[in-house]
Structure 1
């Protein structure tokens, strides 16, 4: 799991922000394990497109010619080809649609979205196929998302704060957990900014003209084991400075609550493990860049 921030070190005076940072780091570590030895490198067109759990490979082999033979690599890992013999986009996509339905019917995949994700080795690489979003983590596919910190900078004399969102309890993944103000997976054919602008309006009622004023702050890569498979995701990070009187309003039913939170209670939320892993990383990135860890300190 790569991240672009550093947590503050504890000091002799008992810095509460540093104590919270230690608890946050422990929570992230507990939720971010990844066992490469239990995975196969999932390949297509000679490039890795996923980390397939071995247990899931056994399930896939029960559905027919989904995987090629295992091939040891020089680094000690093992590769396997996805859909050998199907060498074009349409044939692979059709086969993956059928496979996704079979997996869902058998109870291996839940939360069907009717949304297509690219099967690809990189954001800027051509997709070799598309797949139902709900099946992406079962296959351990590389996916992409856009997350945005909603910033209240405190320039008018108040304390700096962030707007955050609570995920709907009906969400298939991380129901009821705290998230960034805006966060969304990137469907095939979109890009990080277009994804973000769309999600801004749907999740928080932020109009496109305001959303396009975001500041881009790079990418955080997440690679971790989950009960449903693997989250291998490149998360594109944005900040948006919000007008002082702005109040977010959810439009699509995927957010149950918005909350404006100053830094100290925000650290407490993350310390308790009540925020998703990827949103925690994105939030920490903003706090570190802005030097706001000190705002969570009680002297």
Structure 2
């Protein structure tokens, strides 16, 4: 997981930064001893929980034998004997449907994610998105801070503020939590900017010509245990400076509310653990880069 160096380690307990750090830590545990490195053709594509490996072994032919690696971790091959993209993809689609039918995965999306060791590497297969966290697959997403910069030292109406969105209560993952203005998983065949432009229009009614002006600010990696498996995700971070009069409007039903908030209110939301882990990290990244974290403390 990326270091949040702009959250001072020496911050006194009870400050917004300390509460945010505690909330992130409480929600970001990862124990490699309870995982198997999930491998395809010698490349790691996921962190498979051992409990889920037991379920898959009951389905037959999905996993090879465990193998101990030099670093002390264990690895397992996914779909041994299937050596091409189409064969693996067909087997994974059948596996995902079986996992859904038996209640092991939920929130079927009819959306395909790449099975790959890296964004710039060829995919070895595709799989239904709903099964990605069960398998602990490496996934990719684009998140965008929607920024209204009114200058430092003023109240939210005239000072720096961010638009954020509340996830629909019907979402399979993190329902009802606060999120970045735009956030979306990257399907197979897309790229970070194309994913962002599409999600901008669907989630917030931001037209493509405006969305194309988003500024890229690197990647934050998230690796954490979840009840449904593992979130191993590379989040591509963007900022978009929005016109002062712009108001977002959801188009696809996945957002229940948009809110324009000043820095102090935003810190309070994050302190309460009401924002998703990845969105909290992306938001803190923007506040730190722009020198707004101190303004939030003073507000």
TM above 0.5, one fold? Answer: yes
CA distance in structure 2 between the aligned counterparts of 1:81 and 1:3, rounded to whole angstroms: 31
Structure 1, unpaired ranges of 5+: none
CA distance in structure 2 between the aligned counterparts of 1:5 and 1:144, rounded to whole angstroms: 23
User: If the length of structure 2 is used for normalisation, what is the TM-score?
Assistant: 0.96
Q: Report if aligned partners of 1:180, 1:279 keep a CA contact under 8 Å in 2.
A: yes
How many residues are aligned here?
295
Residue in 1 that maps onto 2:279: 279
Partner of 1:297: helix, strand, or coil?
helix
Q: Report if aligned partners of 1:118, 1:128 keep a CA contact under 8 Å in 2.
A: yes
Which of 6, 25, 30 matches 1:34? 30
Offset from partner CA, 1:214-234 (integer Å, 9 cap, x none): 000000000000000000000
Which of 21, 32, 39 matches 1:25? 21
Residue in 2 that maps onto 1:127: 123
Relative to structure 1, the CA distance from residue 231 to residue 151 in structure 2 (aligned partners, 3 Å threshold; closer, same or farther) is: same
Offset from partner CA, 1:65-88 (integer Å, 9 cap, x none): 000011000110001000000000
CA deviation after TM superposition for structure 1 residue 298, in Å: 3.1
CA distance in structure 1 between the aligned counterparts of 2:81 and 2:44, rounded to whole angstroms: 17
CA deviation after TM superposition for structure 1 residue 98, in Å: 0.3
Indicate the RMSD between aligned Cα atoms, in angstroms. Answer: 1.5
1:265 and 2:265 matched:
yes
Structure 2, unpaired ranges of 5+: none
Residue in 1 that maps onto 2:209: 209
Partner of 2:298: helix, strand, or coil?
coil
CA distance in structure 1 between the aligned counterparts of 2:44 and 2:196, rounded to whole angstroms: 26
1:47 and 2:43 matched:
yes
Which of 87, 99, 102 matches 1:103? 99
Partner of 1:179: helix, strand, or coil?
strand
Q: Which runs of 4 or more aligned residues in structure 1 lie more than 3 Å from their structure 2 counterparts after TM superposition?
A: 8-11
Residue in 2 that maps onto 1:234: 234
Q: Report if aligned partners of 1:10, 1:19 keep a CA contact under 8 Å in 2.
A: no
Residue in 1 that maps onto 2:113: 117
Residue in 2 that maps onto 1:175: 175
